[in-house]
Structures are given as C-alpha cells and as structure tokens.
Chain A
C-alpha cells in the first residue's frame, strides 16, 4: 500500500500532500487525546523530515530511502523522483514493487504534463484541486487504481467536461487566480518550465 504521497519543491514547500494513513505521534497513542492540531503537526513533521532526507541526496544516487523515523517501521520505504524544482515522494510499504512505484511516479508526472500541457510548479499551485483529481484517478485510498495514462487522461477529461457543462465554479477560480496573481510572491519563481520533463529519465526501462 501507498501510505502517503508528497510533492514539495526544492525549498521544502509542500505542493501536494496526500496521506492515506492517519499518522499520529507514537507517543500519543491514545487517540481521543489527539486533536486535529496534533495530526497536522505530525504531518508537517513528516514532510519536514522527508524533505531533509530527500533533499540532501544527490541526483545520481538511488531513488529509495529507508523510511524516516516518523513514518516508522522497517516495512516502509520512501521512493522518490526529482523533477526540475519538484520532488515527488511516495511512501510505500513492502507490498509495492519499488521499480513499479518509480514507474507510477513517471506515469503520474507524464499525466500531469499532458493535462496541463508542460506542467510546471505553478500549475500545481494554481490548480491544486486538479492535481488531486488526477492523482485520484491514479491512486485510490493508497492502492494503485490505474496505470494506463490514456485511461487516466480520458477519465479526467470527462469529469472536467462535466464540470464545464455545469458552468464550473462560476468564475470563482478566475477571481481567485487574479487575486493571487496580484499578491507579491517572491519565493515562487514564475518562469519555471520543465518541458523536458520526460527526457530527464531516459534510463527507464519499458514497463
């Protein structure tokens, strides 16, 4: 099973967080004592730890990492890929094939690329919901749902079309986008383009 999917950028800013397991601090085993705040803290801690583990690795070392102390257990592994400014990290247990997950990340990224036409970090920021919807067609509840890219794209397209036929969010996103654009966001480099995203991983064997 996939326990969590994290996407963050080179600076550790999370761009997508998807936990399929409710992580709680092990010292606070008693559930009712754990507020949502604690759970969020735990998630933040996990992201932080994962970022520290992943970010200090060179690009030419292997893509597997024995799980951090927080996600816990010897059964867990971090499998990640680094594309331009983004890290895609999957936290999985031993029932998943390591190379298979690497491939899945590739499929996911290529799907994003197709849906957003040259995906870049900004797409993930402004269309967080869409990224989630795409992810939902790939992984469901921690299990791999679909690996065929065309199928995924087709389902996403169909749903988007339905949304459009309902009139979408009646201009709400447009307003939000313009609002965000007028904000001063110094950290976000505006012209990241990872068009060569597919060329970055040529060593991938046909799956």
Chain B
C-alpha cells in the first residue's frame, strides 16, 4: 500500500472486512483491494464473507464487496462466487447490476468455464434500460472480443443497433473499437459499417469519437482492401481528417493522428505518401512521443529515390538526440527502414555499410547486435559488396579501442563480432591481412565478452590461412614464419580465458599453428592444406529453416524404438503437428523446383503485363519504379567500378554516397542502353540462374546483387509462424464458442460448501453420461477422484466445518428470494406440483445459466431436451434440498467416527441433489416458507415475507401468482388495507388507498412473482392485513373482471433475518445480561434432531451457532436489531427450547410460532 509492504496485516484486514458496520467493512475491502493478490494465502478465508456480503440486502455492502473482489479475484474465488455474481447481474439496483456485470470479466479471466453459462445473461445486459449497466456490458464484451473476436461475430447485429441508437459517447467508442476488431473477420460487416461511420465522422463534434471512427474505418478498409472496388472516397476522407488532426495545435491530437496514419500506411501507402512533408515536419517536433510516431510512418514512406535522403535526416537526428531511448529507437528505425522487404529500397550497399559503420559510433546503444547482424547479413548476401565490407570491417577492427571504450556493458562491441567474422570469412578481399591479424590478437581483446573473443580466435586462424597462402609462392618464407610466431606468442592469452569456448578454440588452434610452424621450418608447403580447413562457402539460412526440413522417407519419428509401455496413450500424436503434411510428401529438392517454376511463371506474366502497359517506357532509365523482391535475384551484377569508386578511404561518411548516388543515376541512364545487350551474356554465366527468362529491362538495377534468403528454406515460411503467442495469456482460455447451446455440464458450480464447489465440469460430464436415476455409482467414482484432489483441504478444522455447515443452511434460506427473481426459479421455491411443461418460456438459455443454485436442477429448460425430465417434479427438488441438508446433518454426526469419509459422502450427496436422484436415505419432507395467501378457480397466490437488512422498518413480501385457468390474466392490481403499524409502500404520488399494478400478465398455466415492500413500525407483534387482488380474465370470447380477497399474515418470524454469529460473540451476548429469557417444551417430537434444527433454521430464519450432540445453540436477529438466542435440547421425544431476547413480547411470539410449526407435523 502506497509502496509499503503490509502483508503482515493481511489477516487483520480480513477481520475488518467481516465487520458488520459499513464504515469498517468499506475500509477492510479497500485495504484488501490494495494489498491482496493471487498469492495471498488469507484470501481463501474470505470466500464466505464475500459471499455473504454479495447477498447482503444492503446495496452498498454488495457494492464494496464487488469492488474489492474485482481487485483480488483468484481462480478459486471466481469459481466459488461466479454463481452469486451472476445472480447479482439481475439485481434490482442498477448500481449493483453494473458492478456485477463488470466484475464478470475478471471472473471469466480467472475461471473461463463460467463464460458460456454467463454469456446469455451478459448479452441481455446489452439492452438493459440503465445506460450505466449497458455501458458496463459493452465494456466487458469489448474486452472479451478484443482477444477472441471470432466468437463474438454473432453479436454484430446487436451492436450495430446499439451503435445507431446510442448517444453515449463512451458506449459508442467501445462499440466502434469492437467493430474494428470484428471487421477483419467479416468483410460484409465492414461494408455495412462504412456508411454509418462516415456519417458519424461528419457529424460528431467529439474528437475522441471522431478519432475512433476514423480508426475503425481504416480497419474496415484494410479488411476490404483485398478484392474490393476502391473506397478511395473513404480513404481520402480519413486521410484528410487525420491531416487536420496532425496539423492541430493540440499535441494529443497530433499524436493520435500520426498513430492512425500509420495504420492506413500498411494498405494504402500511396495516400499517406502525399503527406510526407507533414510527417517529416513532425520529426522535428519537440515531443518525443510524436517523433516516435512519425518515425513509424517513415518506414512506409521510403522509396528507392528518397531512402538516402530520409536516412540522412535520421542520422542528423541521431546526432542530436539526447535520451538513449530515443536514439536507440532511431537506430532500429534506420535499420528497419533500410532492410525492409529484403533491402528492396537500397540501391547502393556501400552506402548502407557506411551508414552501419557510422552507427557504431553511437555511444551506449543497446542495439549493437542489431547492427552486427545487419553487417553480417549484407556481407553474406550481397556478394559484390564483400570487398568493400571487408575493408570497412578491417578499419573497425583496427580502431576497436574506440568501440570498446570504457564500459563493460557497452552493447556496441557486438559489432566487433560481425567485423571479425567478416574479415576472417572473406579474408581473400583483405588488402593487408597481416595487419588485421595483428589487430585481432591484441591483448586488449581479452577484455571483450567471451563469445566475441571466440570469434576473434577462430577468425584469426582463417586469416592465418590467408596469410600463408599469400606468401606461398615466395621463396623467402620469413613472412609466413613470422605470422606463425605471432600466433604462438599471442594465443596463450586466450588459452587462459575463463570462457570455455575461447579456451577450447584457442588451444586447438595453438596446437595447429605449432604443428604448422614445425612443417614450415622443414620448408613444407602447408598453405593449401591449411586453407582447406576453412574451405567452402557459408550460405545464409532462413530463420526456422531447420524446422522446415522434411523428414526423410522411411523415418518415422513416432515409431517406438523399444516396445511401448503397456498403457500407451494418444499423447504421442502431438509431434506430428510440427511438420505439415506436404512436407511428408515432397522432398526438399522438389520444393525449390516448384518455387522456381512458379517464379518463372510469374515473371512471364509480369513481362506480359509490362509489355501491354503503355506507361512502361521500355528504354526509360528512371529508377523510381517499384519492382518486387523475387525479381532482384535475376538482376545481373552490375560492374560496380563503372558507377561507383570501390574504395572510400578511411572511415566512410555516408553523405558521400548521396552525391555519388546522383552521379550514378546519371551515369546509369547513359550506360543502360549499352548494357542491355551485355546482360544476356552475363546472365548465362551466373549460377542458379539456369531457368531465368529474358530480363525485363524496366527493372531498375541496384548496385549489387542481393541473394534471396528463401533459397535456403525448404518451404516458404513467414519468419514468425506460430510461436508469437504468449502461452501465459489468460485470454487464450477464453477462446470459447459462445453460440453453441449450453450443455448440462457447463453449469456454474452451485453455491454450497467447498467440496462440492470444487467439482470440475469434466467430472460433471462423467455423471451426465450415466442415466441420472442410477448414478450412485458415478457419484462414488467422483468421490474417489475428489478424495485425491482435495485431501489437503479436507483437513480443515472442526470449527471451520461447522461454519460451512451453517453457511449452507443460510444459503438455502437466502437463495430463495434471489431465485424468485427468475420466473422459473420461483416455482422450485413454491413447490407447487407443477410439471415442467408449465414453465414459462421467456428466457430459456439465460435461465439455464443462472439456474444453478442447489435446488435448481436443470430440467426446467424447454430448449434442452436432454434436461427435461418429466418425472422430476418440483416437489422432488425440494426433497433434494432437504436431503442435502439432512445429509450434512448426518455427516456431522458421523464426523467423529468416519472422519475422513465425511467429505466424500458430502460430495456424493450433493451429486444426487444436482442430478435429481433419490437417495435411499430417509428424506426430509419438502420445506417451503411460501404459504398460501388466497386461491380461487383462476389464480393461486402464495407468499413469503422476508426482512430487509437495509432498512429496519421494511419487509419484502414476495407473492407468486399462478394462473390456474385456461384464460389469460391481465391488469392485476394488488391492494392492501394499511393498518397504523404496517403500510404498503406505494410509488410516490399515489394515494394511501391506491392499488399497485402487478408488473406482468399471466398466460394460462404460468406463474410469476411480484414483490411488495411494506413498512412496519413495531415488530414485536404478529399482524394481519386485509387485501384484495383484482384482475381481468381474458378468454377468447370474453373478458371478465374478477377479484380475490386475501389476508396477509405478518408473523414475528418474518421480521427475523438469518444472521451468522460466531460462538465467542454469542457467548458475550449471553453474558451481557441484557436479554430476557423464556422457554418452551415440545412433547412428542419424533423427528431426528437435525431435522428439527433444519426446520427452525429454515422456517424461522435462525442459524446454528454451535452444536454438540443433541444440544444446539441458535441465533437470529430481527430487522430492528433485536437479538434472539435459542438453546435447543432434545432427549427422547421431548424438545426443550430455552430462549433469550432483549424484547420479551417478540420472543414470546416467535416461540409461539415455533411451537405452531412443530405442532403441524
């Protein structure tokens, strides 16, 4: 936090987070969000706390929890809480909805399995009435689509609609950005987009929006550029707008303009090139960011004609530049510009070598290796330049002390690597090899990095060979012997090197030289043999060429060398993928053949074209014409000495070449005609050119020939094939097809306690394949699996388990109101024996996604036949719910005996709940808090009353209306006669006797839930309110007005809210002495103790604080903050309940209600 490590406070933060006061909770979450991260171990303690806060009725509790969670969500948290968060996406408050929607992105990242189940609901939120939620949803989908656009193509129409309708610039920008990502995949979309985008460009006044529009239009144009009639109007518009941006005095706009310009450049370089003046101007800008952007643009603006000029300008900047970053950037840009597309724009390689040599004078650059590799590349591939290059490199070696300078980490000494190698390899071009050899063996060399020394040593040997050969014919062998002596004197220095490579090479060569010296003394001719050591030419090899080497016939890399181990699996298939199929078929030589034929064909075509093109003036010597790279290799080597003096004495200055180049071009014009005849002859002499057709005389000639690197490649391969993806990219996992219907296995984990939550979808699938009624076996299998996985976690302490257990019970209770939001889910809660066929079909797939709370079995999906289980009725669901609870109770009992079995059976029990099997164990009767409100032949109403944390004087009455008739019910109006104490909350402006309209209509057989808020003043007494529901029954023939009276019964229980309480707090509470006691005895209760507890918990909103054998303490809290504590004991068939509460009449009423509950059964 603020740069200080506060990890020591992690546990205290958790404590503060769990405070019930919003003030503290907020601080706790803030601290957590600042200093928790994935590695923080206490995070696993927070799961339940966060869950509790998420489901808090208090919107700001939920809000801070979401905000905090967004900063430290871990895969575990994401998995455990995904379902809760998804429920929150349909929260009534937009404030919560929008936070829930946003946090889903984080959840997806950490737990990709949740994407598919959650996606339908996310999609719904795109059309949320609240603009904030809408923008959040757009935000999330844009983030997702940016990484894996193809999966979101199907949303394009929806976004298109949003784009044309939305006025919120934030949303528009995001959508437009998203379209930018989508268009490359779907050109048709691009065509549709152009028009509205152009309109936006013309109409909007917001620069940010304008800029994004231009950006997307560019993306569209890029995607269209292949095979489309030109959209030159749009391009012109874009470039024009960008020019306005660049010319703007606001530096920000200038920067962005350049940024966008560089995107156009890739496909429409011509339209950008016309603004060269502007861009060169930007190079002089005082702002570094802008200069860098302008540099990017330059890359695309060069041509043969202006390359030298531009590079000269850049070299000036290099000299002026202050920061090393900018200078390094300049350096790389210069090299990039020059080397792009196989040195396409370089007409004079001597100039280029001089530029490289000049660049070596840069101090403190990190890019020495870049320069070095360019030097090597040019020297190897441009044969004609070798003489010049060698001369330059020899000078470099001579002046090595200038480069090595003082600093060890000076990157520029890398160029010595290249220099030494070039001098050695092409030593035949050296004028004075002896001098170079001497330079390479200076003691100072020993201070260079090891790999450079190694090259020095090796190439000293090559030079030695050259020197020997040079002096071969001479009668006086003095010179040759001196050379040997020099080596023998100097090499021991390297033999002592700490670098193994240097050491090995040096001692090898030292021995060799000693041997040679002996031979020399005997006057034996050795030069030829020594030279033979280094004979042969090294050809450039393309990157990844090795990978492309085809497998020789008969070599099966997948075959087992030995007998395969007994259980061989299909894993060994993988290596095959490295080689493509074609490579198996063809041998390498055939590839080149194909290539060459293809080249020949292309050349023919091009020639034809040019012949027919009137703009190609055959004899024109103009050097501006662009030609394509493959052509270069067929251009004959120009006799360099005709145009350029080969040697530029001393350290070259590239400026000379500018002038020379001009002269050369002049000369060429004259020479050109003459040479045309010669060419054919020359060509025949060239190696590898057997099939080259007649030369097209229009190609401009560079000064030297460039070898084409692809010759060394078995197959055309892009330098970056497939390995450019970061394997750690979290977005990789999110590459999920979202259009497939949801499978059963993809449900989000249910919120229960931990072991079940851990179930992976893979395991689920195992279950799915087995008929559900009989999957006990599979459940066991699963148990086995889990056992291994979760052993560690299992060893959680007794106390923890208790907490979890409590949690489950609470959740069961709390889950009800949430479920009720979804129309389907309401049914489970009410438990009317309706079959699935009566399900409302409004939001099928989204419901499937959310319908995952423990009770919500998947069968409610009309569009998923797999899930439809006619035999599974709602009541069975409730059974399940109870079973689960019961199971847990039982397990608890067994805990001591079957300690390690506990969690297995737990998991198994959960499976059965999920999959709708009937356990053989004694089931709990269905429990529901919903009780009948009123019923007639048309409609049935059941209701439940829940307290509200948020406001101590409010309760929420959830009423489920079920249409029992065959007619359509509409215009339902709900009215209650207020009492002094309890009042129905009506919208502002409504009179105290006005009725509330139920916000839906009911088709036949459908049920839906509405919620009504009541304000109450005193909660100590139960109350009854009279009310009326009026509605219109509409059948085909008639519509009648009906009415139904009811009585709402507010029990004292309904004012209680399940509140967890820790045992120590509970003890304190009892000690405080503020509570007044009362007690109750129930006779003849035959149900097991855990059933009893479950009932109290469920019907009366209590939570178990602690339980020991047949004795349990329970706690609850009223909406007005009264504490209610129970001590429940059982012996034989008698249950005694001792209760304490700070409000005696409330307590009395609650006890009466408890008594009533148990008298009913």
Interface residues of A (CB under 8 A from B): 1, 14, 17-18, 20, 22, 31-32, 34, 36-37, 39-40, 43-44, 47, 57-58, 60-66, 95, 97-100, 102-103, 128-129, 132-133, 136, 140-148, 151, 155, 158-159, 162-163, 166-169, 203, 205-207
B255 touches A162 (CB 8 A): no
B5: contacting residue among A18, A36, A95, A99, CB under 8 A: A36
- Residue from A1, A17, A97, A155 with most neighbouring chain B CB atoms (10 Å): A97
Which parts of B51-75 form the interface with A (CB within 8 Å)? 60, 63-64, 66-67, 70-71, 73
A166 touches B255 (CB 8 A): no
B208: contacting residue among A32, A133, A166, A207, CB under 8 A: A207
A14 touches B3 (CB 8 A): yes
A140: contacting residue among B1, B67, B143, B286, CB under 8 A: B67
A141 touches B37 (CB 8 A): no
Which parts of B278-298 form the interface with A (CB within 8 Å)? 286-290, 292
Main DSSP-derived SS at the A contact region: mixed
B143 touches A95 (CB 8 A): yes
The CA of A6 and the CA of B863, in the complex, are separated in Å by 49
Interfacial chain B residues near A63, Cβ < 8 Å: 251-252
- A128 nearest CB across to chain B (Å): 8
Stretch at the interface among B95-103, B738-746, B992-1000: B95-103
Interfacial chain B residues near A206, Cβ < 8 Å: 205-206
Interfacial chain B residues near A141, Cβ < 8 Å: 67, 70-71, 73, 102-103, 105-106
Interfacial chain B residues near A102, Cβ < 8 Å: 252
Top 6 nearest A-B pairs by Cβ distance? Answer: A141-B70, A99-B208, A62-B251, A36-B7, A61-B287, A62-B255
Q: B1-38 toward A: CB 8 Å interface, digit per residue (1/0)?
A: 11111010000000000000111001100100011011
B252 touches A95 (CB 8 A): no
**Minimum CB distance partner of B290 in chain A:** A62
Q: List 10 A-B contacts (CB under 8 A).
A: A37-B5, A44-B3, A61-B288, A64-B289, A129-B27, A129-B30, A143-B136, A166-B21, A205-B206, A207-B206
Interfacial chain A residues near B23, Cβ < 8 Å: 163, 166-169
- B533 nearest CB across to chain A (Å): 42
Interfacial chain B residues near A61, Cβ < 8 Å: 251, 286-290
Given A146-B132, A205-B206, A206-B206, verify A60-B251 contact (CB < 8 Å). Answer: yes
- A22 nearest CB across to chain B (Å): 4
Interface residues of B (CB under 8 A from A): 1-5, 7, 21-23, 26-27, 30, 34-35, 37-39, 60, 63-64, 66-67, 70-71, 73, 95, 98-99, 102-103, 105-106, 132, 135-136, 139-140, 142-143, 146, 169-170, 173-174, 177, 205-208, 211-212, 250-252, 254-256, 286-290, 292
B30 touches A132 (CB 8 A): yes
Interfacial chain B residues near A65, Cβ < 8 Å: 289
B99: contacting residue among A132, A140, A159, CB under 8 A: A140
**Minimum CB distance partner of B208 in chain A:** A99
Interfacial chain B residues near A14, Cβ < 8 Å: 2-3
The CA of A166 and the CA of B27, in the complex, are separated in Å by 14
Interfacial chain A residues near B38, Cβ < 8 Å: 22, 31
A162 touches B3 (CB 8 A): no
The CA of A162 and the CA of B60, in the complex, are separated in Å by 9
The CA of A166 and the CA of B38, in the complex, are separated in Å by 33
The CA of A108 and the CA of B250, in the complex, are separated in Å by 21
A64 touches B252 (CB 8 A): yes
Given A140-B99, A145-B99, verify A205-B205 contact (CB < 8 Å). Answer: yes
Interfacial chain B residues near A143, Cβ < 8 Å: 102, 105, 136, 139-140, 143
A-B Cβ contacts below 8 A, count: 152
**Minimum CB distance partner of B205 in chain A:** A206
Interfacial chain A residues near B256, Cβ < 8 Å: 64, 98-99
**Minimum CB distance partner of B181 in chain A:** A95
Interfacial chain A residues near B4, Cβ < 8 Å: 40
A100 touches B22 (CB 8 A): no
- A141 nearest CB across to chain B (Å): 3
18 additional A-B residue pairs with CB within 8 Å, beyond A14-B2, A144-B139, A147-B170: A36-B35, A36-B39, A61-B251, A61-B286, A61-B287, A64-B255, A97-B208, A100-B170, A136-B30, A140-B67, A141-B71, A142-B70, A145-B136, A147-B135, A151-B132, A155-B95, A205-B205, A207-B169
- A72 nearest CB across to chain B (Å): 12
**Minimum CB distance partner of B59 in chain A:** A158
A95 touches B146 (CB 8 A): yes
- A30 nearest CB across to chain B (Å): 11
The CA of A103 and the CA of B207, in the complex, are separated in Å by 11
**Minimum CB distance partner of A62 in chain B:** B251
Given A43-B3, A166-B21, verify A97-B211 contact (CB < 8 Å). Answer: yes
The CA of A14 and the CA of B2, in the complex, are separated in Å by 7
The CA of A17 and the CA of B3, in the complex, are separated in Å by 8
Interfacial chain B residues near A168, Cβ < 8 Å: 23
B211 touches A99 (CB 8 A): yes
**Minimum CB distance partner of A103 in chain B:** B208
Interfacial chain B residues near A158, Cβ < 8 Å: 60
A66 touches B39 (CB 8 A): no
The CA of A108 and the CA of B252, in the complex, are separated in Å by 19
- A14 nearest CB across to chain B (Å): 6
The CA of A143 and the CA of B2, in the complex, are separated in Å by 21
Interfacial chain A residues near B70, Cβ < 8 Å: 140-142
B67: contacting residue among A47, A99, A103, A136, CB under 8 A: A136
The CA of A158 and the CA of B58, in the complex, are separated in Å by 12
Interfacial chain B residues near A22, Cβ < 8 Å: 37-38
The CA of A140 and the CA of B133, in the complex, are separated in Å by 13
The CA of A14 and the CA of B34, in the complex, are separated in Å by 14
Interfacial chain B residues near A128, Cβ < 8 Å: 2
**Minimum CB distance partner of A144 in chain B:** B139
- Residue from A60, A102, A145 with most neighbouring chain B CB atoms (10 Å): A145
A62 touches B252 (CB 8 A): yes
Interfacial chain A residues near B211, Cβ < 8 Å: 97-99
B3 touches A40 (CB 8 A): yes
Interfacial chain B residues near A136, Cβ < 8 Å: 30, 64, 67
B205 touches A97 (CB 8 A): no
B207 touches A205 (CB 8 A): yes
- B347 nearest CB across to chain A (Å): 32
B102 touches A140 (CB 8 A): yes
A97: contacting residue among B21, B27, B177, B290, CB under 8 A: B177
The CA of A151 and the CA of B67, in the complex, are separated in Å by 17
B208 touches A100 (CB 8 A): yes
- Residue from A18, A31, A60, A146 with most neighbouring chain B CB atoms (10 Å): A146
Interfacial chain B residues near A40, Cβ < 8 Å: 3-5
- B949 nearest CB across to chain A (Å): 12
A144 touches B255 (CB 8 A): no
**Minimum CB distance partner of B39 in chain A:** A31
- A187 nearest CB across to chain B (Å): 15
Interfacial chain B residues near A166, Cβ < 8 Å: 21-23
B208 touches A203 (CB 8 A): no
The CA of A102 and the CA of B169, in the complex, are separated in Å by 14
The CA of A14 and the CA of B3, in the complex, are separated in Å by 8
- Residue from A64, A102, A169 with most neighbouring chain B CB atoms (10 Å): A64
**Minimum CB distance partner of A151 in chain B:** B132
The CA of A206 and the CA of B204, in the complex, are separated in Å by 10
- Residue from A47, A102, A141, A158 with most neighbouring chain B CB atoms (10 Å): A141
**Minimum CB distance partner of A16 in chain B:** B2
- B208 nearest CB across to chain A (Å): 3
Interfacial chain B residues near A43, Cβ < 8 Å: 3
The CA of A140 and the CA of B288, in the complex, are separated in Å by 32
**Minimum CB distance partner of A132 in chain B:** B30
- B989 nearest CB across to chain A (Å): 22
- Residue from B34, B71, B173, B290 with most neighbouring chain A CB atoms (10 Å): B71
Interfacial chain B residues near A57, Cβ < 8 Å: 287
A47: contacting residue among B3, B139, B146, B252, CB under 8 A: B3
**Minimum CB distance partner of A164 in chain B:** B23
A95 touches B99 (CB 8 A): no
Interfacial chain A residues near B2, Cβ < 8 Å: 14, 17, 128
The CA of A18 and the CA of B70, in the complex, are separated in Å by 12
